[in-house]
Amino acid sequence: MYGSEQLLLREWLVSQRKAAKLTQRQLADKLQVVRSLVGKVESGERRLDVVEFTHYCRALDAEPTEFFTFLKQQPSDEAGSPRS
Q: Is residue 59 part of a domain?
A: yes
Query: Residue 73: which residues within 8 A CB-CB, separation 6 or more?
Result: none
**CA-to-CA distance for 33 and 79, rounded, in angstroms?**
36
In a domain, 58, yes or no: yes
**Residue 21 identity (one-letter amino acid):** K
In a domain, 50, yes or no: yes
Question: What is the model's pTM?
Answer: 0.84
CB atoms within 10 A of CB 17: 20
Residue 50, CB-side half-sphere exposure with 13 Å CA sphere: 2
Residue 80 lies in a domain: no
- The reply to whether 83 falls in a domain is no
The per-residue pLDDT for 75 is 86
* Residue 77 placed within a domain: no
pLDDT in tens, 1-60: 468 999 999 999 999 999 999 999 999 999 999 999 999 999 999 999 999 999 999 999
Within-domain flag for 52: yes
Domain count, the chain: 1
Range of the domain at 14: 3-68
